[in-house]
Amino acid sequence: MADSNVRPESMERITTEQLALKFIDEQIADIKAKVGDSKVLLALSGGVDSSVVAALLIKAIGKNLVCVHVNHGLLRKGEPEMVCQVFRDELGANLIYIDAVDRFLGLLEGVTDPEKKRHIIGEEFIKVFAEEAAKLEGIRYLGQGTIYPDILESEQGIKAHHNVGGLPPELNFELVEPVKLLYKDEVRVVGKALGLPDKMVFRQPFPGPGLGVRCPGAITRDRLEAVRESDAILREEFEKAGLAGKVWQYFTVVPDFKSTGIKDGKRAFEWLCIVRAINTVDVVECTVEPIEYDLMCRITDRITHEVPGINRVLYDYTPKPTGTVEYE
């Protein structure tokens, strides 16, 4: 495994399955040589990078990879189930699933400040992961889904690199980062070649604090469910319309605001749901996806009829700037 953090100029861009298979073979040999019979621990979020690292490590060391999937209650509908199905059932991973929903939502109760919410989620994630690591014996390495842009941004001082929840320093593991010299598009090609499902490989970006930043203000379980259900409907309709994988990022937000409406002939004082769909190259500036009128009507109809507590749907036409992608 290349221990250097510099991508050699001679390194060919991985654009085809054939090149990906060659990369996979090389990485498996390198991982085996480095890790031997030791165990590797990996925080598996279900994102592209950690999923590809997990699949590579499973091929290289099998059950000596211990994957930990923390459900903090802020994941999208079906996500924890998909991680368990793909990795435990299909790939035979040694996967520890941690249901930490009550723990996270309890700590977030009544917290309205967005940065405080982010901080609580990040800190707690590290705590839960470290607690789990402390229970395990014989772990020497930590797998990480670091990719090349993380290294470049970290070196340029743009952002401190800390992957999925960050490495708890007191754990003192050695790192295994098999995709650290790859760009995102290459990671996807490798993921496809490893046989991971498209919905994992071409997954849209999803923030670490998850749906927590799409439930503005203090998170309540009922409003969080409204975010999760409306997001699932939006994703389903985008998939049917052939927009999944084409639009950069799309999601719903349910602010803590109610308006008067009518349901079943009765006054319904309920939340509104905002739909956001944006395109970008670098996330510094974003344009709004021009959703077709008929599609937007279908999404509105489904969300207002299928999601309890929502009586209106709005489409956000704000580019970045002046808006940011997320609402918090």
Where along the sequence are the contacts to ligand XMP (CB under 6 A)?
118, 205, 207-209, 249, 283, 320, 324-326
Cβ closest to ligand XMP, residue 156 vs residue 322: 322
Provide the minimum distance between the beta carbon of 118 and ligand XMP in the complex, in angstroms, as a whole number.
5
Provide the minimum distance between the beta carbon of 283 and ligand XMP in the complex, in angstroms, as a whole number.
5
Provide the minimum distance between the beta carbon of 23 and ligand XMP in the complex, in angstroms, as a whole number.
26
Cβ closest to ligand XMP, residue 59 vs residue 72: 72
Cβ neighbors of 320 (< 8 A, separation 6 or more) are 278, 280, 283, 284, 285, 286
Cβ closest to ligand XMP, residue 150 vs residue 270: 150
Cβ closest to ligand XMP, residue 140 vs residue 199: 199
Nearest to 272 by CA among 238, 236, 316, 241: 316
Cα atoms found within 13 Å of the Cα of residue 314, Cβ hemisphere only? 12
Provide the minimum distance between the beta carbon of 208 and ligand XMP in the complex, in angstroms, as a whole number.
4
Strand pairing class (266-280; 310-315): parallel
Rounded to 10 deg, the angle between the 17-35 and 48-61 helix axes is: 60
Helix (H, G, I), strand (E, B) or coil at 161: coil
Question: SS3 letters for 212-280?
Answer: HHHCCCCCCHHHHHHHHHHHHHHHHHHHHCCCCCCCCEEEEECCCCEEEEEECCEEEEEEEEEEEEEEE
Cβ closest to ligand XMP, residue 207 vs residue 255: 207
Helix (H, G, I), strand (E, B) or coil at 292: coil
Dihedral angle computed from the Cα positions of residues 288, 289, 295 and 296, in that order, rounded to the nearest 10 degrees: 0
Provide the minimum distance between the beta carbon of 217 and ligand XMP in the complex, in angstroms, as a whole number.
16
Cβ closest to ligand XMP, residue 199 vs residue 320: 320
How many other C-beta atoms are found inside a 10 Å radius of the C-beta of residue 192?
17
Provide the minimum distance between the beta carbon of 251 and ligand XMP in the complex, in angstroms, as a whole number.
8
Provide the minimum distance between the beta carbon of 47 and ligand XMP in the complex, in angstroms, as a whole number.
9
Cβ neighbors of 280 (< 8 A, separation 6 or more) are 248, 249, 286, 287, 320, 325
CA distance 34 to 54: 16
Provide the minimum distance between the beta carbon of 287 and ligand XMP in the complex, in angstroms, as a whole number.
13
Cβ closest to ligand XMP, residue 209 vs residue 216: 209
Provide the minimum distance between the beta carbon of 45 and ligand XMP in the complex, in angstroms, as a whole number.
10
Cβ closest to ligand XMP, residue 262 vs residue 281: 281
Helix (H, G, I), strand (E, B) or coil at 58: helix
Cβ closest to ligand XMP, residue 59 vs residue 77: 77
Dihedral angle computed from the Cα positions of residues 201, 206, 209 and 211, in that order, rounded to the nearest 10 degrees: -110
Cβ neighbors of 52 (< 8 A, separation 6 or more) are 145, 179, 187, 190, 191, 194, 196
